[in-house]
Amino acid sequence: MVEAILGLSRTLTWETPLPSAPEQKPPYAALAVAGYGGVLGSLFPLVAVYSVADISGGLHVAADSAALVNTFQNVGAIGGILATPALAFGVGRGQAMAVMGAGFVITSALCAMAPNLPIMLFARTLHGVFGGAMPLMFMLLVMTTLMPGQGRFEGMTLFATSTSLFFGLAATVGGTLVEGFGWRSLFWAQAIMALPYWFLARRVMTQEKGRIEVLKGADWPHFTLLSLGLALIVIAASEGERHFWLEAWWVPALLLGGGVMAGLAVVGMLRTEKPLLLLSVFRRATFTWGIVLSVFFRFGQMFAVYVVPSYLGRLQGYRSIDTGAVLSAMMPSTAIALVISYFWGRRLDSRWLLSAGLGSFAAAAALCVPLTPDWAADQLRVGAAVAGFGMGFFSVAVLRFATYQVTMQDGPTVGMIFNLTRVFGIVSGLGILSHLVVEREKFHSANLVEAIGATSPETAQRLAQTAGAFARFGGDADGAQAAALTALARTSGGQAFTLAFSDAFFVSAIALGLGAILVWALPAVPAEEPAASRKIETKGKTA
């Protein structure tokens, strides 16, 4: 059984009944602990995203510099994801979870105590290594302990739940911590909440010792090359818009260097006997399309991660705790969609769920196209609730596609690539939408400036009224005129920003709506075979 779990036998697959599997009880305690780690590793990176302004103020750096705190967390997550299978099979899955828990506690504390930005970036990178590994560890544990028809689908549904259900609470959690205890509590809370994970992980699967030669013999050269290459791409994609892309020489240089390194790693893995990633998984159409759609899924998540917080923060002055009041509407609808997805996806065509998920995201974006500068929490809450349905429907369905026909040998590869898309999907979605908003804001600003030129009679009348209002508070006519011009510029700037976000909602609605239609070009995934029929079939083969 140990050999099978470690993937040392190339003849066994997950579809092959193991001799002792029917008699062995799944490690429910280990799965519960891993699920808790999945929640920690998925929730708190978003908490930091929503609270980046507070981190910026606490470290006394500009907002663009503070954004590196989240960028380097993603860099660390890449290394953690790629190293997780080797660690799990090398020292044992329970021991690997304990290592991740201890590392997460220590690095969370280091982030909380960081006195300046350079030390914070170093600590945050290590923090990302352990935080990125924990959700993947839950996914691997499901694939290595639960067989198809005997809990695999339930386990994958729980994995989807752990990474999506609490998405809408991230802003509330971050805002509550900052308001009550200061920005450093964002990381102290993670250290405290990870202690139970570490403590319990040391007490599950203690009989499994792993095979240290698996850890020593892992494809570390290509791991290093691929990790560095993907890290450079993430840094360029995350920071490019803030530095005007091609205007900063190092942005294209990082993209080119990262692409070359990642390409060399891929070529090397195709030639080596025991590669880090089994790239043959891309020959399976369901997996390939599942990964492509997963990127679409992250693009839909931008409603909560970028669009709503940016709009409310700039035009309405909302802090993260105020934004959380809007996004918390996602949680009930996500929970409902997860339950529906479980009962539907187990027995019927999962393409309905894919289409419903992308369609829900498209509908949420379409509801917000008539955006105006007066919109606040009440107007956006309905869109957030609709987006929550998309979160639940899609997260379950895409896992059905990505993990269909997974085998002993390619299970770790499937897990690594799927979790890498969680990082790159959000980074690419942020990059695309932020660039779109910036460019459309420039376009609308230029049009508004032309439309409200100082020679326009309407503009002159508006300025005179505003200047008169300011003049009543003081006798300086020139100062009142300057204040009126500033107020007019602020109003037109807010209007341009609003129109830019309306365009972003429109483009998102079109792209996601097309995705909801195109999923029907995908091959259908058969319904999950119930455990009873699988057991009867297994007994027949044994007889």
Q: What is the pLDDT of residues 219-274, one digit of tens each?
A: 899 999 999 999 999 999 888 877 777 788 888 999 999 999 999 999 999 888 88
Q: Are 274 and 217 within 8 A, CB to CB?
A: yes
Percent of the chain at pLDDT exceeding 70: 83
Distance between CA 409 and CA 415 in Å, rounded?
Answer: 12
- Give the separation between CA 335 and CA 327, rounded to whole angstroms: 14
pLDDT of residue 492: 64
d(CA 422, CA 444): 33
Q: Which residue has the tokens 């828990």?
A: 101
Residue 83 has pLDDT above 60, yes or no: yes
Least confident of 145-159, 171-185, 481-495: 481-495
Question: Could you tell me what percent of the chain has a pLDDT over 90?
Answer: 39
304 pLDDT higher than 80: no
Residue-level pLDDT at 9? 36
SS3 of 341-361: the string is HHHHHHHCCCHHHHHHHHHHH
What dotted CATH number matches 26-217?
1.20.1250.20
Does the pLDDT of residue 280 top 90, yes or no? Answer: no
- What was the pLDDT predicted at 542? 42
**Rounded Cα–Cα distance for residues 520 and 269 (Å):** 33
pLDDT tens for 172-213 read 999 999 999 999 999 999 999 999 999 999 999 888 888 888
pTM for the full predicted model: 0.84
Please measure the distance between the N-terminal and C-terminal CA atoms of the chain and give it in whole angstroms.
Answer: 21
Q: Read off the pLDDT of each residue in 334-363 and give the average, rounded to a whole number.
A: 90
Predicted local confidence at residue 158, as pLDDT: 93
What's the rounded mean pLDDT across residues 503-525?
86
Amino acid 475: pLDDT: 54
> With b meaning 16 or more CB within 10 Å and e meaning fewer, what string describes 458-475?
eeeebbeebbeebbeeee
C-alpha–C-alpha distance, residues 323 and 317, integer Å: 10
pLDDT at 386 over 70: yes
Least confident of 7-16, 350-359, 516-525: 7-16
The residue that leads in pLDDT, 426 or 448, is 426
Q: Is the pLDDT reported for residue 534 higher than 80? A: no
Give the pLDDT score at 449: 63
Give the CA distances from residue 49 to residues 74, 170, 300, 376, 416, in Å, rounded to whole numbers and listed in that order: 11, 9, 17, 20, 23
Where residue 453 falls among pLDDT bands split at 50, 70, 90?
A: low
Non-local (6+) Cβ contacts of 266 within 8 A are 226, 279
Asked whether residue 408 carries a pLDDT value surpassing 90, the answer given is no
What integer best gives the mean pLDDT of the chain?
A: 82
pLDDT at 80 > cutoff 90: yes
pLDDT > 50? residue 46:
yes
Residue 150, pLDDT score = 76
Tell me what pLDDT residue 13 has. 35
Looking at residue 15, what is its pLDDT?
35
- The pLDDT confidence band at residue 102, using thresholds 50, 70 and 90, is very high
| Confidence (pLDDT) at 456 | 58
Closest CA to 466 of 490, 444, 498: 490
Given a cut of 60, whether residue 354 has pLDDT beyond it is yes
For the ranges 20-29, 247-256, 413-422, 458-467, which has the lowest average pLDDT?
458-467
Asked which of 358-362, 437-441, 532-536 is least confident by mean pLDDT, the reply is 532-536
Residue 469 scores a pLDDT above 60: no
